Amino acid sequence: MVDTQQIQIQKTAKSRLPEVDFASLEFGQTFSDHMLVADYVNGEWQAPSIIPFGDFSLSPANPALHYGQAIFEGLKAYKNESGEISVFRPQANLRRMNLSADRLCMPAYPEETFLEGLKELLRLDAAWIPTTSGSSLYIRPYMFATGAYLGVKPADSYRFAIITCPVNAYYSTPLRVKVEETFARSVEGGFGFAKAAGNYAGSLYPAKKALEEGYHQLLWTDGKTHEYFEESGTMNLMFVINDTLITPALSTSILSGVTRDTIIQLAKDRGIKVEERKVSVAEVMEAAQNGTLQEAFGCGTAAFISHIVTIGFRGTDFQLPSIESRQYSPQLAKDLDAIRSGAVADTHGWIVKI
């Protein structure tokens, strides 16, 4: 465990905050003044430091650049009207990060050190946390291999870092998505459950093709048969059919979303019937045609709850019921907002106050 006294803090000489236009934030393009950095050397994590946001210096033979030992997380901090800062489920994100680390032969990062470092960083950059509705401070912890060698083996040294950025909604419009039956994001036995950089790299080409066809995102199907839905590029996937919230069951090829888990719990709290199981493309497309598909949405930290209005399937666009007619996802979004803002009690212990 790292004593917070040990966190070296070097403050920026000049804050960039006055240059920021909070009304027009592009996701992930505006970074707060400071970042946290910790190195893993000689088999142990060194005490973290908080330093001004800036470039890293890397060897041209850095193994993460060559073989992709790189993982990340996404979580959010909020500031309420009285200026109180809270973070949503940070322990869940660190747990998942350490599962990703294990799969990619990287060292786990200690929870206590993570929470203490994150709190220090947020205290220092508190003025960067937006307060307008729908906005937040996106927190990006990540880890990558360091060192210099080209042999294919797990690295001996790593860097853990946290950068943060004020953000608005990731998607500014309701989504048009396409069922992907040619390319695969992952397969059972692969590392789709890990939040690993490589999973995102492999998704770019199919996503680019979908964008050229007028869709915002893909609905990935399983890599073996393409008969079952898995997740969407930046989000987990949920459907409401016959008043039941249905979502693909987790597997080694699906990211175990913290927002997914939260939504399932909130739905159960409301007495909504929830099914986590294999969800076939045939079932959903049939429901879209016979009118029993009431809602479809993606959920994730960045995406929050993003309504799907159109599903493209084998060249035909299926229009889903209007967002105004939807009952479940808007209610679940409100429930989640109420917990995050402190308007209702956090009975699940999801909030960490700073």
Q: Which residues of the chain form contacts with ligand COI (CB under 6 A)? A: 74, 234, 300-303
Structure-token pair, residue 126: 């508190």
Closest-approach residue to ligand COI (CB): 74
Least Cβ distance, residue 302 to ligand COI (angstroms): 3
132 contacts: CB under 8 Å, gap ≥ 6: 22
**Number of C-beta neighbours around residue 187 at 10 A:** 15
Residue closer to ligand COI, measured from CB, 300 or 312? 300
Residue closer to ligand COI, measured from CB, 70 or 241? 70
Amino acid at 143: M
Q: What is the Cα Rg of the chain in Å?
A: 21
Least Cβ distance, residue 119 to ligand COI (angstroms): 20
The strand pair at 136-146 and 244-248 is best described as unpaired
Q: Which ranges of the chain would DSSP assign to H, the alpha helix?
A: 63-67, 90-103, 111-124, 197-212, 258-269, 281-290, 328-341
Give residue 271's Cα distance to chain centre. Answer: 26
Residue closer to ligand COI, measured from CB, 71 or 184? 71
Residue closer to ligand COI, measured from CB, 73 or 283? 73
Least Cβ distance, residue 110 to ligand COI (angstroms): 22
Between CA 296 and CA 319 the distance in angstroms is 11
Structure-token pair, residue 320: 């889903």
Least Cβ distance, residue 285 to ligand COI (angstroms): 26
- Among 76, 68, 94, 163, smallest CA distance to 340 is for 76
Between CA 242 and CA 293 the distance in angstroms is 7
Least Cβ distance, residue 6 to ligand COI (angstroms): 29
Residue closer to ligand COI, measured from CB, 199 or 294? 199
- Among 29, 140, 120, smallest CA distance to 76 is for 140
Residue closer to ligand COI, measured from CB, 122 or 272? 122
Say if CB 72 and CB 197 are below 8 A apart.
yes
- Among 8, 18, 111, 109, smallest CA distance to 52 is for 8
Least Cβ distance, residue 181 to ligand COI (angstroms): 23
Least Cβ distance, residue 38 to ligand COI (angstroms): 20
Residue closer to ligand COI, measured from CB, 259 or 294? 259
Q: Determine which helix (DSSP H) or strand (DSSP E) holds 142, and give its type and residue range.
A: strand 136-146
- Among 65, 173, 47, smallest CA distance to 114 is for 47
Least Cβ distance, residue 74 to ligand COI (angstroms): 2
